[in-house]
Chain A
């Protein structure tokens, strides 16, 4: 049973559009929430991360929104580009263990 529930499973967005991926959790012991980006044939790579005392974090075109009371967080990819086509995983940490969502495959159409 996954501790972090991620949706949607896949999405298609036009170049320049906004991609939104949502994650939810129940375990209040989670204290760090990273997002990973994975290209085919490669290992996941850390994209951006947030701590629960922050409601939003932005790095370039990528923004995490965090709602501690709802136990939800989301990744927004602004001005989506074909190079953003990848699988995105949300994760949550307790100690040094990460629990991952099931992943969202994002396809950006030119």
Chain B
């Protein structure tokens, strides 16, 4: 039981490049979310999903895309990287029943130059 697995752990992109951050969970959780963490701002919700095929925007969705084709996977796509997207990205999942908070992955540290 690996929990929530994020890859890669570190990434450097050039402005304008695109990439996909991978997230997989093996707990059969319905809810999955992507957060970004910036100093002094806590964690801010980018996109979330309440099940396969269902996604919605969070607080800071601009510049990001998501899809949820399976229960296990929830990739985050950066369409055209900008320096403002330099951040630490966390994927999280939770069971639908008796929601008690999210289990977070270990994060992806992204630098856009």
Contacts and interface: CB of A to CB of B under 8 A. Distances in A.
Interface residues of B, number: 26
A98 B45 contact: yes
Nearest to B106: A43
Main DSSP-derived SS at the B contact region? strand
Contacts of B50: 96
B102 A98 contact: yes
Main DSSP-derived SS at the A contact region? strand
B90 A44 contact: yes
Given A93-B101, A100-B35, 18 more contacts: A2-B41, A6-B42, A32-B101, A36-B101, A41-B107, A43-B105, A44-B90, A46-B103, A91-B101, A96-B50, A96-B94, A96-B99, A97-B45, A98-B45, A99-B45, A100-B43, A102-B40, A102-B41
10 contacts: A9-B40, A32-B101, A43-B4, A43-B92, A46-B103, A96-B33, A96-B50, A97-B58, A98-B101, A100-B44
